[in-house]
């Protein structure tokens, strides 16, 4: 699987470099995309517990691969705000009666990335003023901010063996617990409405499927915790 992603990445980089000089019809635009993101834990005892609303915005650019412009290398530079919530099982002994109990501790993560997508865009011929398209590729993300609201146990002051309650640590900086790099598979589709010349309105949907662990050396019950992050976004953009 990793070899397949590497091959796709190489093709996406090589194609525009080989064709950019043959066709000067390069498109630039801006995009604003509300998104819904969630976490996908891949370790027993940790479960996804909620979605998070966020946004993506930034610069779009497209380089034609063939003279008709039906096939394009699409990239850009975006700021993405994503995240999600998860719960982890916590076994404890209460101070009253010394009874062993279990509780799910919830953590809500708010993450921000600089993203560089590398995709192939396949477009239909113009139908009226519209062209329909599909996209497929990969995305490289670099974490620039990580915050969390995390529930944690409060232990007794004497022995520390008993849990006397629970509290929530709000807006805690957790960037040291988050991997700098996030890679994802990108699949999407939509339509473009042409106004005049290169000016066009873009509307579409993109699914960003993360395939690298967002956690950096975080242990859970003696094992390395693995959590993936996905999001679905509604693309709204304008090409000039």
* Domain range list for the chain: 2-84+108-147+174-239
Return the higher-pLDDT residue of 180 and 165. Answer: 180
Give the best-scoring range by mean pLDDT among 78-82, 93-97, 100-104, 160-164.
78-82
- Percent of the chain exceeding pLDDT 70 equals 86
What whole-number distance in Å separates Cα of residue 133 and Cα of residue 138?
17
Question: What is the average pLDDT value for the chain, to the nearest integer?
Answer: 86
φ, ψ (nearest 5 deg) of residue 6: -65, -40
Mean local confidence (pLDDT), 195-211: 93
What whole-number distance in Å separates Cα of residue 16 and Cα of residue 65?
7
- Structure confidence at residue 143 as a pLDDT band (50, 70, 90): very high
Mean local confidence (pLDDT), 150-172: 80
pLDDT surpasses 90 at 164: no
CA dihedral 180, 186, 192, 198 (to 10 degrees): 50
Look at residues 123, 108, 120, 117 and name the one whose alpha carbon lies nearest to residue 209.
117
Instruction: Tell me the CATH number for domain 2-84+108-147+174-239.
Output: 2.40.160.20
What whole-number distance in Å separates Cα of residue 233 and Cα of residue 53?
10
Q: Are the beta carbons of 147 and 178 closer than 8 angstroms?
A: no
What pLDDT sits at residue 8?
44
What pLDDT sits at residue 101?
80
């Amino acid at each position: 699987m990793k070899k397949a992603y590497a091959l796709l990445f190489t093709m996406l980089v090589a194609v525009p470099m080989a064709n950019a000089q043959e066709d000067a019809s390069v498109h630039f635009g801006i995009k604003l995309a509300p998104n819904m993101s969630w976490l996908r834990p891949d370790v027993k005892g940790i479960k996804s517990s909620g979605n998070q609303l966020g946004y993506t915005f930034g610069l779009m650019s497209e380089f034609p691969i063939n003279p008709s412009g039906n096939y394009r290398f699409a990239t850009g530079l975006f700021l993405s705000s994503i995240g999600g919530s998860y719960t982890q099982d916590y076994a404890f002994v209460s101070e009253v009666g010394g009874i062993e109990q279990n509780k799910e501790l919830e953590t809500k993560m708010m993450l921000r990335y600089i993203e560089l997508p590398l995709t192939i865009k396949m477009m239909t011929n113009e139908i009226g003023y519209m062209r329909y398209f599909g996209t497929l590729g990969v995305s490289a993300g670099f974490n620039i901010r990580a915050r969390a609201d995390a529930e944690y146990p409060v232990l007794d002051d004497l022995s520390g063996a008993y849990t006397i309650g629970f509290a929530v640590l709000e807006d805690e900086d957790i960037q040291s617990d988050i991997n700098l790099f996030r890679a994802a598979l990108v699949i999407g589709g939509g339509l473009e409405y042409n106004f005049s010349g290169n000016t066009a309105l873009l509307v579409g949907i993109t699914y960003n499927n993360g395939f690298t662990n967002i956690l950096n050396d975080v242990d859970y019950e003696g094992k390395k915790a693995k959590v993936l992050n996905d999001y679905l976004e509604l693309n709204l953009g304008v090409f000039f």
